[in-house]
Amino acid sequence: VIAGAAKGHNLQTIEGLATRPTTDRIKETLFNIIAFDLPEASFLDLFSGSGAIGIEALSRGAAEAVFVENGKEAVSCQKVIQANLMHTKLQGRARLLQTDVLFALDRLAAEGKKFDIIFMDPPYEAGLYTSVLERIAENGLLKAEGYLIAEGSSQIALTIPKGMKILREKVYKTTTLTFLCAEEENV
């Protein structure tokens, strides 16, 4: 963990190639960009992997984080996320959903949840970006001033769904962070 209450804690990672952790360089840049928006924020971490992004958000002052993970290594991911939350003592502000991301988005919408920041990092080649972005927009899961960060391959164009617009992009050699928000008429 780079900064905040859990600074310096080393997190467990997932064995094998089933997950692709965000590099330290990208994670540090990401959190430098969003640092002032984190205190008391509600944070949604989709395709959580080891939970490193959501845990960093909690460490830096997010009020709550919801982790959604259901990949091929879901059971391993769940155990690792839980262990990392216990290790950092942040489990009291965290919720873990072991389910399909689209189902989780529908469930959270049915509960009336809205988030200040949503982070998503699906498998690059899985073709999930468009369906997940559309479901977030349809369900109105972003707060009025909220935004979404999509981490993706710099080689794969991101299709922006109706109801969302790009705020900014940060392009690296192989990875792009795209910041999106709801268009005003959809808030």
3-state class (DSSP) for residue 103: helix
**Share in percent of the chain as helix, strand, coil (round to 5):** 35, 25, 40
Q: Which two tokens stand for residue 94?
A: 């965290």
Secondary element (H or E) of residue 152: strand 142-153
Secondary element (H or E) of residue 106: helix 101-110
Rounded distance between C-alpha atoms, residue 3 and residue 90, angstroms? 14
Residue 84 has a pLDDT of 83
70 alpha carbon, distance to own chain's centre: 14
Residue 77 has a pLDDT of 64
Contact 139, 113 (CB under 8 A): no
pLDDT tens figures, 31-73: 999 999 999 999 999 998 888 899 999 999 999 999 998 865 5
Question: Per-residue confidence of the chain (187 residues) as pLDDT tens digits?
Answer: 565 665 655 666 666 544 556 677 888 889 999 999 999 999 999 998 888 899 999 999 999 999 998 865 555 667 788 888 888 888 899 999 988 999 999 999 999 999 999 999 988 777 788 899 999 999 999 999 999 999 988 888 888 888 889 999 999 888 899 999 988 754 4
Residue 24 has a CB neighbour count (10 Å cut-off) of: 10
CA 93 vs CA 53, 59, 121, 182: distances in Å: 14, 10, 21, 26
Exposed / middle / buried, residue 171 (Cβ in 10 Å: 0-12, 13-18, 19+): exposed
